[in-house]
Structure 1
Amino acid sequence: MQPVRWKRIGDAWPPASNLYEFDLRAIKQVRAVLRDPFKPLSTAKTLMCVVRPLLTVWITVCIGFLIGVDVYGQPASERIERAAAEEEISDVNLYYVTGHRGATLYRYANENAPLRRMPVRTPLHELGCNGDWCQVQLEDGEQGYVREEALSNIWIRVDKDQRRVRLYAGPDLVKTYNADFGPNVFLDKERRGSQQDSDHWRTPEGLFHVVNRNPNSMYYKALVIDYPGRDDAERGLQQGIISEAEYASIIAAHDERRMPPMSTKLGGWIEIHGDGTGASTDWTRGCVALHNTDMDHIWQYAEVGTPVLIE
């Protein structure tokens, strides 16, 4: 599969909250003054139309600093963390190793001189491809060759607020899909939900990875993500939701880049699967459901190891 080449398509963060919208009427008056500076306006009116927008901006910034929320309506620390994750996985030349078995790094563009075995999700920079082989550089600076089929720069971004799933190749947006979620789409997942506690049928937030592809899912096809993650395990242990043994099992699974335990009280089996309505409704138990046509499309790109950023 040929990678999508770069056009630097930006994907802005959510727009400012209505609480901080500028006074549009005042801005129009400022523009009118700039277009026709000789048009008579009262001194008070002129002063007001200039000062009001500036005052609005100043108040917005001050409130953001005071309550720890930036002008985008998100906690500042949370947005910085997510922006860092997005920047890392959308790097133009940053690829990763896909598949359950990982890949081998070779000295030359053949299989005669193997250098090392690389597990799934090993990050590396593509230096150029020729035929079936790509020259790459690892984070420690070592260079070599790997088969092109073992590399990917695909990642998935799940937007719970907009009920959308976006497929990227590096920084390039490939396609956007409508998605269905659970009944409580706005909150982060904390524990396993049930018929008696459907409020916890939530979609987790954070940076995850595809750990399994199920072509025979009861919901058409499914990409299983590695929830619970490390942060979820830390929180679960601190809050007494899971035991130390369960915590150790989750951490060990992530260290070995395999599927974590799914049967603890933190919940599990969070998937991007099919049988969605395509109308952005709320019916799942925390999974992300796509229309089967969209599931077929994303299935062609997503592999074991594909990063999934859920926010």
Structure 2
Amino acid sequence: MLFVVVLASCGGQPQSKFKTYAGPPVTQVQINKGQRVMMLFSGNQVLKTYRINLGNNPVGDKMFEGDGKTPEGVYFIDRFNPNSQYYLSVGISYPDPQDVAQAEAYGRRPGGDIFIHGQGAEGRAANRPDWTAGCIAITDSEIEDVYSMLRPGVPIIIRP
């Protein structure tokens, strides 16, 4: 009988990528691009810290679509994509009206679809730092945690 129980536990269902989180609420996300770090806060307490990858041209603020930069400033978590090509992804409210005006001053579009996301197959294939088009990338395992911890409206501060 014990053999059957052990055998059944080895061949069970695959683990879901959707985790649950019952800890303190995340009240702010801070990203320091220069240090390549993302921190999730509850009040003044750091709950988690992650090493990150950025856009393929990471120094400086995003000016327009296609520049390979990750935006800088204050944004908000605004959407969740459970079917992302990068495993799971959490949307950032870029562009804001100032970003749109800045891009238009260059005669360009600001772009959009800036996310915190996992690696997915493309990220693992890149196997190098700063490979995104302007997003913030962490591992697939880490995005499972972040996806479960964040809620819409949480501010995200992205610093140089």
Alignment TM-score, normalising by the size of structure 1: 0.40
**Contact 2:118–2:137 at 8 Å: present in 1 too?**
yes
Residue aligned with 2:143, SS: helix
1:173 equivalent to 2:84? Answer no
Aligned pairs, number: 133
Cα deviation for residue 154 of structure 1 reads 2.2
Q: Structure 1 residue runs of 4+, over 6 Å off? A: none
Q: Corresponding residue for 1:270?
A: 114
Cα distance in 1 for partners of 2:130, 2:94 equals 20
Cα deviation for residue 302 of structure 1 reads 0.5
Higher helix share: 1
Paired residue type of 1:233 = V
Paired residue type of 1:207 = V
Paired residue type of 1:183 = N
**Contact 1:155–1:306 at 8 Å: present in 2 too?**
yes
Residue 300 to residue 210, structure 1, CA distance change in 2 (3 Å): same
**Contact 1:182–1:202 at 8 Å: present in 2 too?**
yes
Residue 191 to residue 221, structure 1, CA distance change in 2 (3 Å): same
Q: Corresponding residue for 1:229?
A: 96
Q: Corresponding residue for 1:281?
A: 129
CA deviation string 1:185-237 (max 9, x = no partner): 111100011xxxxxx11100000011100111000000011111122123234
1:213 equivalent to 2:80? Answer yes
Q: Corresponding residue for 1:162?
A: 35
Q: Corresponding residue for 1:305?
A: 153
Structure 2: tracts of 5 or more residues without a match: 1-21
Residue 280 to residue 306, structure 1, CA distance change in 2 (3 Å): farther
Cα distance in 2 for partners of 1:154, 1:219 equals 25
Residue aligned with 2:90, SS: strand
Cα distance in 2 for partners of 1:166, 1:294 equals 12
Paired residue type of 2:70 = T
Residue aligned with 1:217, SS: coil
Paired residue type of 1:202 = K
Cα distance in 2 for partners of 1:236, 1:282 equals 22
Q: Corresponding residue for 1:186?
A: 59
Structure 1: tracts of 5 or more residues without a match: 4-151, 194-199, 243-264
Pairwise CA RMSD: 1.9
Cα distance in 2 for partners of 1:304, 1:213 equals 8
CA deviation string 1:159-181 (max 9, x = no partner): 11011111111111011111111
- Which structure is richer in relative contact order (CA contacts within 8 A, separation 6 or more)? 2
| Alignment map for 1:105-184 (pairs within 5 Å) | 152-184=25-57
Cα distance in 1 for partners of 2:37, 2:112 equals 21
CA deviation string 1:19-72 (max 9, x = no partner): xxxxxxxxxxxxxxxxxxxxxxxxxxxxxxxxxxxxxxxxxxxxxxxxxxxxxx
CA deviation string 1:118-177 (max 9, x = no partner): xxxxxxxxxxxxxxxxxxxxxxxxxxxxxxxxxx55211111101111111111101111
Cα distance in 1 for partners of 2:43, 2:101 equals 30
**Contact 2:26–2:40 at 8 Å: present in 1 too?**
no
| Larger Rg over CA atoms | 1
Q: Corresponding residue for 2:141?
A: 293
Q: Percent identity of the aligned residues?
A: 33
Alignment TM-score, normalising by the size of structure 2: 0.76
